[in-house]
Structure 1
Amino acid sequence: MSLDFDVNLDSESEDEPVEDGDTIKNIHEVFRKQFSISYSECASLKKRYITHAANSVDFSKIVIGIDKEIQIYDVTSSGLSKYVGKNDFGRFDHPISGIKFFNNDNNLICCSTISGEIHMYDLRNFKKVFTFEDDTEVVVKPVNCFDINASDRLIAAGTDELNHEVYLLFFDIRERRLMGGFFESHQEEVTDVKFHPSKQDKVASCSTDGLINIFDCSKESEDDALLYSLNTEDSASKLKWHNNDKLSCITNTNDLHLYDVNTQDLMKKWTRSNITDAMKRKSVIDCNIVDCHNIGDEMMFLATSNYNKGECVRSLKFNEKSIDPLCDFIGNTQILRASLYNEKDDVFVTCGEGALITIWKEGVVSSTVSTKESMKEESSVKKKLKKKANPY
Structure 2
Amino acid sequence: MALNFDVNIESESEEDPFEDGNTVKNIQEHFRHEFTQVHQEATSLKRKYITHAANSNDFSKISIGIGNEMQVYDVTESGLNKYVGKNEFGQFEHPVSGLKFFHDDPNIVFASTSAGEIHMYDLRSFSRIHTFEDDSELIVKPVNCFDVNANDRLLCAGSDELNHNVYLMFFDIRERRFMGGYFESHQEEVTDVKFHPTDPDTLCSGSTDGLINIFDCKKEKEEDALQFSLNTEDSIAKLQWHYHDKLSCITNTNELLLYDANEHDLLKKWNRSSITEAIKRKSVIDCNLIDCYNYGTDEMLLLATSNYNKGECIRSVTFSENTLDPVGNFSGNSQIIRASLYNAKENLFFTFGEGAIISLWKESESAATNMNVSLKEDSSVKKKLKKKSNPY
Change over 3 Å in CA distance of 1:145–1:369 after alignment to 2: farther
Query: How far apart in 1 are the matches of 2:108 and 2:298?
Result: 28
Q: Over aligned residue pairs, what C-alpha RMSD do you find?
A: 1.2
Equivalence for 1:276: 276
The yes-or-no answer on 1:356 pairing with 2:357 is: yes
Cα contact 1:22–1:282 (8 A) shared by 2? yes
> Which runs of structure 2 are paired with 1:128-277 in the superposition (5 Å)?
128-277=128-277
Alignment of 1:9-24 (within 5 A): 18-24=18-24
Deviates more, 1:82-91 or 1:120-129: 82-91
CA distance in 1, matches of 2:298, 2:127: 38
Given that residues 40 and 368 in structure 1 are in contact (C-alpha distance below 8 angstroms), is that contact kept between their aligned partners in structure 2? no
Matches within 5 A, 1:59-98: 59-98=59-98
Distance in 2 (CA, whole Å) between partners of 1:231 and 1:88 is 43
The alpha-carbon distance between structure 1 residues 132 and 266, as it changes in their structure 2 partners (threshold 3 A), is: same
Does the residue aligned with 2:277 lie in a helix, a strand or coil?
helix
Deviations 1:94-149 (A, max 9, x none): 00000000111110011000100000000001000000000212222100000000
Specify the alignment match of 1:335 in structure 2. 336
Which digits, 9 at most, give the CA deviation of each residue in 1:173-232, with x for residues without a partner? 011000000111000000000000000000000000000000001101000000000000
Measured in 2, the distance between the counterparts of 1:276 and 1:238 equals: 19
Counterpart in 2 of 1:27? 27
SS of aligned partner of 1:309: helix
What residue number does 1:317 align with? Answer: 318
Residue 368 (structure 1) shift: 4.6
* Distance (whole Å) between structure 2 residues aligned to residue 369 and residue 111 of structure 1: 32
* TM-score of the pair, normalised by structure 1: 0.89
Q: In structure 2, what is the Cα distance between the partners aligned to 1:281 and 1:125?
A: 48
Distance 2:104 2:137 in 1: 33
Q: Deviations over 1:155-179 (max 9, x none)?
A: 0100000111100000000110000
Is the Cα–Cα contact under 8 Å of residues 40 and 369 in structure 1 kept in the other structure?
Answer: no
Secondary structure of 2:223 counterpart: helix
- Which residue does 1:301 correspond to in 2? 302
CA distance in 2, matches of 1:230, 1:76: 42
Once the two structures are TM-superposed, the CA of residue 77 in structure 1 deviates from its matched residue by 1.9
Separation (CA, whole Å) in 2 of partners of 1:368 and 1:121: 34
1:9 corresponds to:
none
Query: What is the CA-CA distance between 1:369 and the residue it aligns to?
Result: 7.0
- 2:345 corresponds to: 344
Deviation of 1:299 (Å): 0.2
Once the two structures are TM-superposed, the CA of residue 337 in structure 1 deviates from its matched residue by 0.5
What letter matches 1:196 in structure 2? H
Q: How many residues align?
A: 355
CA distance in 2, matches of 1:261, 1:138: 37
Structure 1 residue 76: Cα displacement: 1.2
Q: Which residue of 2 aligns with 1:51?
A: 51
Question: Deviation at 1:18?
Answer: 2.5
Tell whether the 8 Å contact from 1:18 to 1:282 is kept in structure 2 after alignment: no
CA distance in 2, matches of 1:121, 1:280: 43
2:386 maps to what in 1? none
Q: Which runs of 5+ in 1 are unaligned?
A: 1-15, 371-392
Which residue identity is paired with 1:362? Answer: E
